[in-house]
Structure 1
Amino acid sequence: MSVDQRALYDARLELVNFLIDALADVPTDEFVETVLRDFVFPEESVSDDLDRGFGQLERFIAANRDRDPGDVQHDLEREFTRLFVGPRPRVLAHETYYRDDTDFRGAGRAKVTASYSAAGWSPPEEYPEEDDYVAVELAFLRYLIRRQRSGAEEAFGYQRVFHEEHLSEWIDDLVEDVREQSQDPFYEAVATLLEGYLTFEEEIAMQMA
């Protein structure tokens, strides 16, 4: 593997790790500290959506860098809870909520799980949400990227199918809802990065599968 290929895999994994941490649960102190102090931005343009998302995140960091990280974490925890937890969440970040061909948390969730099983993956038990939750689907994508990095070419095929049958069917609508409902620029940046990242990943899977 060339240096450029290793760097691309590292960048893909770093961004999906960030998105998983941002969306899986309320942000931890460690996550917030890392974002404010150690987030590494690309040196060159990647794509319009990703560039816009990185710009939004960079402005958020600049506005909060001199604040106590604990205060920033408190603000983000409150906003995450308002958006995704409730008691009346503004956004239900589940594939089956957005699809017209299945009931929310209904039979469609089994199809997501079947996609995981076909590729030899199952969600970690500590994940707090169902298999069709956005952070779980991103964790599956991370698994496939790691397999690709280790030389498993069939993982590109699994990724292409997962984009076609699942991610591409609902993520744009989720992103739109997060943008409309968010009252914090951090989650607006996360939404933009999520949209740009998945478009970028889908292009890779289509080219390589």
Structure 2
Amino acid sequence: MTTPSTEALTGCALALAFLGRSLYFEPDHDFPAGLDNGLLFRDWPLPATDPDTREGLALIAAFFDAHGTDAAPLVRTDFTQLFLGPVAPLAAWESVWTSSEGLLFDESTQAVREAYAHYGLETPDTRREPDDHIGLELAFLAHALLLAASAQADGNARDAMEHIDAARIFLAKHPARWAASFLHRMAQRAATDYYRGIARLCIGTLNHVSDLLDADWHHA
């Protein structure tokens, strides 16, 4: 495997970190700057060379073009209906999608918790829930790749490769097992082009990261 460039690693980390926040935090609590006019998506940190990324960015751009400053409340409502309910919210935890009985706190929860602990990470105090939430898994990948980029920029190739390997293994063992199915379902159920676009953009980003790391990611 050719070692990815510092710029490529940083771009992936930035994209994953943003997508992780978008899927984990309610918009009221961590609304990204520039959301009302879509500026964040007009300079996406990864190349739009695949259909999912292009479609995701196009959907989000069209959403902001159509709604402008009225976009924020629509996004908040859509997040609530998608992930909080009250009617059949979409489960955003790996264990629900991969355990035989669709249960929370299955083996995957403990596995990702151990991966986080190896890096000295814990889930935010503001949310008491399983560690295998899609947003947290994306945030972990972002953290590992940002450390890899930093080590590579400092000329520490060995540490950079260790972080890259950690990200590759985590991607194969966790998001690769369920994220595509979850994101396709999310795109189907979303009421706005914003969250439809986020779902497609996340698929495209994971495809890009998988190619960069030579990881086993099955895009369903």
Partner SS for 2:214: helix
Q: Which residue of 2 aligns with 1:58?
A: 61
Q: 1:202 to 1:127 in 2, by over 3 A?
A: farther
33-42 or 155-164, which moves further after superposition? 33-42
Q: Which residue of 2 aligns with 1:28?
A: 28
The 8 Å contact of residues 182 and 188 in structure 1, kept in 2 or not, is answered as yes
Q: 1:12 to 1:127 in 2, by over 3 A?
A: farther
Output one character per residue of 1:42-80: Cα deviation in whole Å (capped at 9) or x when no partner. 595332221221111111121122xx3xx4222211111
Output one character per residue of 1:70-93: Cα deviation in whole Å (capped at 9) or x when no partner. x42222111111110112343111
RMSD: 2.4
Q: Which residue of 1 aligns with 2:93?
A: 94
Q: Equivalent residues in 2 for 1:107-122 (5 A)?
A: 107-108=106-107, 109-122=109-122
Question: Gapped runs of 5+ residues in structure 1?
Answer: none
Does 2:78 correspond to 1:79?
A: yes
Structure 2 Cα separation of the partners of residues 32 and 167 of structure 1: 24
Q: Which residue of 2 aligns with 1:162?
A: 170
Q: TM-score, normalised by structure 1?
A: 0.84
Partner SS for 1:170: helix
Structure 1 Cα separation of the partners of residues 172 and 100 of structure 2: 15
Q: Which residue of 2 aligns with 1:179?
A: 187
Q: Which residue of 2 aligns with 1:105?
A: 104
Structure 2 Cα separation of the partners of residues 100 and 107 of structure 1: 7
Q: Which residue of 2 aligns with 1:133?
A: 133
Q: 1:101 to 1:144 in 2, by over 3 A?
A: farther
The 8 Å contact of residues 19 and 202 in structure 2, kept in 1 or not, is answered as yes
Q: TM-score, normalised by structure 2?
A: 0.80
Deviation (angstroms), 1:166: 0.6
The 8 Å contact of residues 112 and 132 in structure 1, kept in 2 or not, is answered as yes
Structure 2 Cα separation of the partners of residues 101 and 125 of structure 1: 29
Question: Gapped runs of 5+ residues in structure 2?
Answer: 152-158, 216-220
Output one character per residue of 1:159-179: Cα deviation in whole Å (capped at 9) or x when no partner. 111111111000011012112
Partner SS for 2:181: helix
Deviation (angstroms), 1:30: 7.0
Partner SS for 2:17: helix
Q: Percent identity over the alignment?
A: 20
Partner SS for 1:150: helix
Q: Which residue of 1 aligns with 2:51?
A: 48
170-179 or 114-123, which moves further after superposition? 114-123
Which AA in structure 1 matches 2:43?
F
Structure 1 Cα separation of the partners of residues 142 and 114 of structure 2: 17
Q: 1:19 to 1:132 in 2, by over 3 A?
A: same
Partner SS for 2:27: coil
Structure 2 Cα separation of the partners of residues 135 and 30 of structure 1: 13
Size of the aligned set, in residue pairs, is: 200
84-93 or 32-41, which moves further after superposition? 32-41
Output one character per residue of 1:164-197: Cα deviation in whole Å (capped at 9) or x when no partner. 1111000011012112211111110010011111
